Amino acid sequence: MNMSSFWENSVVQTAGYYSVTVLCIVLFLFIFEIVTKYDNWEEIKNGNLAVAMATGGKIFGIANVFRHSILHHDGLFIMIGWGVYGFFLLLTGYFMFEFLTPKFNVDKEIEKDNRAVGFLSMIISVGLSYVIGSGIN
């Protein structure tokens, strides 16, 4: 078996896409951790469902963007490029959510385990990921 056919094997490609996506999710969650005012993993460990929903929405959103990218492109680097772009758009959506809710601070409400705000944050991430994904072609 030559190397060309090895890299074209669907099992190898799936493992590659999976590995890169997981690494990108970890990196992007680290960046989200920097921009939020609370410690995501400490809050989740303490049972804060609002933080868990918001974080879960971000994970789903990032994975969904990668899903669409994998479906529409053959190259790993193109997939990564779309994933980074999608993450940037999701991050922008997060800041817009904060900006468009001047009556309360999204980060503070999520940190206080306001599940309504956590749920809305999750739905925004999931919903935007579908919009972003539909633009990938």
Least confident of 4-13, 24-33, 36-45, 79-88: 4-13
Q: Are 37 and 111 in contact (CB under 8 A)?
A: yes
Residue 72's pLDDT is: 85
Distance CA 3, CA 18 (A): 20
Burial class (CB in 10 A: 0-12, 13-18, 19+), 82: buried
35: nearest Cα among 129, 98, 127: 98
Distance CA 125, CA 94 (A): 8
What is the extent of the structural domain holding 101?
3-134
- Looking at the predicted structure, is the pLDDT value of residue 105 above 80? yes
pLDDT tens digit sequence for 31-84: 999 999 899 999 999 999 999 999 999 999 999 999 999 988 767 888 899 989
Say what the pTM is. Answer: 0.87
- Looking at the predicted structure, is the pLDDT value of residue 98 above 80? yes
Q: Domain count of the chain? A: 1
